[in-house]
Amino acid sequence: MSAPDERLTRIEAELDRLRPTLCERLDKLERTADKPPAKGITRFVAWMGPALPQLIGGAVLLAIAFWVKDSVDLAIRQQQLQLSYATEMKEQLETMAKDKATLDEVERAAVLVAGFGQPAVLPLMNELRHSGNRTLGAEAGLRSLAFMHPEAVCGLVLRVMKSPTRTLGWEGQMVASRTLAAASCASALPELGKHQRVVCKAVQDGDKQGLSALVKDAPGVTQQKEWLRSLEESIENLSAASLQRCKVP
């Protein structure tokens, strides 16, 4: 075989050897050309590679850190706000406690205390432990709260009325019953009815023994009648049914 023939034979053999590899490469290029280029998140994921989990973990930790910081800041702001409320309420409560404060002054201070919302229910209820202008003035604040936060007022006032410790006097009990009516506390009707029956018996029979279970003081006959009228008006305002009024001698 001549030299040209040998070279031609070698070239053909080399082409036969390379033909499968070339075909595979051409097929791969054609498939790649048919696919649309990666976009958006796919391109980003492909670009990040193994570093992507570390990036996600760092982002989650950063978000948690910001959330914790915001929660702490919010708690601090709430405490500062409560302290501010307590300081400002203290000034108005001191006005209510003044011996020579008029009823108008006490009522004005009570309404300002009520402006602090639900946190004002407890300090105003505490004022009912006293008597005179201090108790009657607190009613103005409690009536305001009865419109703004009726559920909070109903729950606390009714719990105080039911308390066996007798923390209120007859004036405080009278204001409490009117406050329940102002807050439309229909659930208080059984308790108000119980009080009405006890006071009615005291007025009719002169039996004050039952009153000791309701109040810490000993109201006179005139005071008992005033208390009774207040109870019956509160029950009538809360109840759609006719009220069986007490026959007062």
Give the pLDDT confidence of 181-202 residue by residue, as tens digits. 999 999 999 999 999 999 999 9
Structure tokens at 117: 């919302």
143 pLDDT above the threshold of 80: yes
Q: What is the mean pLDDT of residues 102-113?
A: 92
Residue pair 200/225 in contact by the 8 Å Cβ criterion: no
Share of the chain above pLDDT 70, in %: 63
Please state at what angle helix 150-162 crosses helix 189-205, rounded to 10 degrees. Answer: 40
Q: What is the mean pLDDT of residues 33-41?
A: 52
Q: How far apart are CA 170 and CA 211, in angstroms?
A: 9
Q: How far apart are CA 15 and CA 18, in angstroms?
A: 5
Q: What is the mean pLDDT of residues 126-132?
A: 90
84 pLDDT above the threshold of 70: no
Q: How far apart are CA 203 and CA 201, in angstroms?
A: 5
Residue pair 230/176 in contact by the 8 Å Cβ criterion: no
Distances (CA, A) of 1 to 5, 6, 7, 9, 11: 6, 7, 10, 10, 15
Distances (CA, A) of 97 to 94, 105, 114, 133, 236: 5, 10, 16, 9, 33
Look at residue 213 in the predicted model and tell me its pLDDT: 87
Amino acid symbol at 6:
E
Look at residue 116 in the predicted model and tell me its pLDDT: 86
* Selected residue with higher pLDDT from 56 and 112: 112
Question: CB neighbours of 170 closer than 8 A, spacing ≥ 6?
Answer: 211, 215, 217, 219, 223, 224, 227
Look at residue 135 in the predicted model and tell me its pLDDT: 92
Task: Give the pLDDT band (50/70/90) at residue 11.
Answer: low
40 pLDDT above the threshold of 60: no
Q: How far apart are CA 117 and CA 25, in angstroms?
A: 78
